[in-house]
Structure 1
Amino acid sequence: MTPSGERGEIPVRRVLPIRALIPNAITIAALCAGLTAIRLAIQGNYQGAVLAVVLAGLLDMLDGRVARLIRGSTRFGAELDSLSDNAAFGVAPALIIYFWTLHELPRFGWIIALAHAICAALRLARFNAQLDMDDQPHKRHGFLTGVPAPVGAGITLTPLFLYFWLEPLSYNINEPLLGAGAAAIVTALSAFLMISNVPTFSWKLVRPSRSLRIAVLLFVALYVGALLEAPFMTLALTSVLYVLTIPFSMLRYRKVRRRAQAEAASPARP
């Protein structure tokens, strides 16, 4: 008892404010989707596993925006998001692609699957380590460093997207050795891109003018319709088009950096 006769209470610091519950609940839902993808892959339901990873990606896009909208961003949420991403976009795609076809490659298949999971974890660790850093050249100019983990998962799963899209048209598209070899190359490429220092486009660069905003809404509506009507075709084309934009992002970054260096070197105007 305190001298005043009242019970002494130790102030408790709230680690998770109330407003942060919604975005963190979305993050946990993404984690559940990623773990469910692993279970479906073990059972041989690869279509369900791929769609579970896609659902985790959609939830991952949503949680950060909701957190910023309601001012519920916390360090706890950032750490939880990285753990969820590691499971949904690192471990799950690696196991899916291994169970589907990489197991056909003796010795090397599992190593390549491990490479994807490890590179995703390394990328997320690098991202967390740079949260409080101000000196980030790519971020300063509106670019990302390397390929984000959700996009890396999509690139790794592109052989499955293509297979499920083209399966009705060809009965022998998934020959064991050819399918495993192609999947191994794609998986290795995805792993490299996630930990690379290659500048890639960020959503921050997408700033359509007022005259194009209606067209952007129309494009989004058509994309969602295509995703619902032909999901694997849409996902396959999206992954391929994203990879094709990487050389353009490198050229664009060099141009923006040279312009910034020229402006910094020019004498200041009075």
Structure 2
Amino acid sequence: MQNITKPTVKSKGIYLLPNLLTTAGLFAGFYAVIASMNGRFEASAIAVFVAMIFDGLDGRLARLTNTQSSFGAEYDSMADMVSFGMAPALIAYNWGLADIGKLGWLAAFIYCAGAALRLARFNTQVGVADKRYFQGLASPAAAAIIAGSVWLGQDYGVDGNSVSWLFALITAGTGLLMVSNFRYHSFKQVDWSGKVNFLVMLLVVAVFVVVSVDPALILCCLFYLYACSGPVMTMRNIKRLKVSDVLGDKEVELFQDGTRQTELEEKPSVIDEKTPHN
């Protein structure tokens, strides 16, 4: 009697828990837009940070519970575009860019387009790029710079219209950092499920205490420092800065210690013997 093997049929449906967190992040981003339209800029900025928390949780939860899916990855990317692309751009425009006319909305558009290009490039490099580093400033960190600046301005009574030109430069510059080739630490090599010393937990508590003293100022400063770390790290790890190290679609591979690899295709015989390579 001949055995007939039936083809396996994938069960339809989506995983609830990770996509629920993604939806919560999407809601926070949408709320941030609505709040900024109503002039509630502090609430809109805080909503962006809330969206960052949900964005950090959904992917890790999916990996821990083995509920990863192509649908979840695509949904997460679209939610990120709303929360870290559209929402910060509109918050920036409503808070301090509307009064400078076309230059204001152009700066906001540069940021929004930079976020879209950053997310598209990240999706095409999944499984290929070095997980220890981001190529360009990550969109959640870029959103934190915009939201943190607005939150800090609101806390200290700064009128957005009085710093329109400066804020336009910050907004456009943040958008350009997202599409740059600067390398940023991703912190993905940290073992979050491993055991740590008791002093580490005390340090974590101390960090929460420090942030709670003035969350707007502390968070804003932290993300500004992180944004500056990319150019600094890139310039430290290469001997001669080229245009392709800053912008462009040229792939720049790094060694394990972060130093720049010699272009073997152009100069196959020239290799720095002091530089370890894979």
Percent pairwise identity: 32
1:106 pairs with 2:98: no
The corresponding residue for 1:128 is 123
Letter in 1 for 2:147: L
Distance 2:216 2:73 in 1: 30
1:135-174 matches, cutoff 5 A: 136=129, 139=130, 142-167=132-157, 173-174=158-159
Pairwise CA distance, 1:60: 0.5
Over 3 Å counting, the alpha-carbon distance change for 1:16 and 1:218 in structure 2 is farther
Distance 2:160 2:8 in 1: 64
Letter in 2 for 1:166: Y
More helix by share: 1
Q: Please tell me whether the aligned partners of residues 44 and 91 of structure 2 are also in contact (alpha carbons under 8 angstroms).
A: yes
Q: Please tell me whether the aligned partners of residues 30 and 56 of structure 1 are also in contact (alpha carbons under 8 angstroms).
A: yes
1:1-270 matches, cutoff 5 A: 13-16=10-13, 20-132=15-127, 134=128, 136=129, 139=130, 142-167=132-157, 173-174=158-159, 176=161, 178-206=162-190, 213-251=197-235, 254=238, 256-258=257-259, 262-264=275-277
Distance 2:200 2:235 in 1: 24
TM (norm. structure 2) is 0.77
Pairwise CA distance, 1:260: 7.5
Q: Please tell me whether the aligned partners of residues 142 and 174 of structure 2 are also in contact (alpha carbons under 8 angstroms).
A: yes
Letter in 1 for 2:182: V
Distance 2:74 2:110 in 1: 22
Distance 1:41 1:77 in 2: 28
Over 3 Å counting, the alpha-carbon distance change for 1:13 and 1:252 in structure 2 is farther
Pairwise CA distance, 1:21: 1.7
Where in structure 1 are there 5+ consecutive unaligned residues?
1-8, 168-172, 266-270
Pairwise CA distance, 1:252: 6.0
Could you report, residue by residue, the CA deviation over 1:51-73 in whole angstroms, capped at 9, with x for unpaired residues? 11110001111111111111111
Letter in 1 for 2:159: N
Q: How many residues align?
A: 243
Distance 1:90 1:81 in 2: 13
Distance 2:109 2:96 in 1: 14
Could you report, residue by residue, the CA deviation over 1:3-61 in whole angstroms, capped at 9, with x for unpaired residues? xxxxxx997532445xx321111001100110011111111100110111110001111
Distance 2:260 2:35 in 1: 49
- Partner-residue secondary structure (3-state), 2:68: coil
Over 3 Å counting, the alpha-carbon distance change for 1:71 and 1:100 in structure 2 is same
Distance 1:233 1:264 in 2: 41
Pairwise CA distance, 1:203: 0.6
Letter in 1 for 2:67: G
TM (norm. structure 1) is 0.80
Could you report, residue by residue, the CA deviation over 1:108-143 in whole angstroms, capped at 9, with x for unpaired residues? 1011111111111111111112225x3x3xx16x21
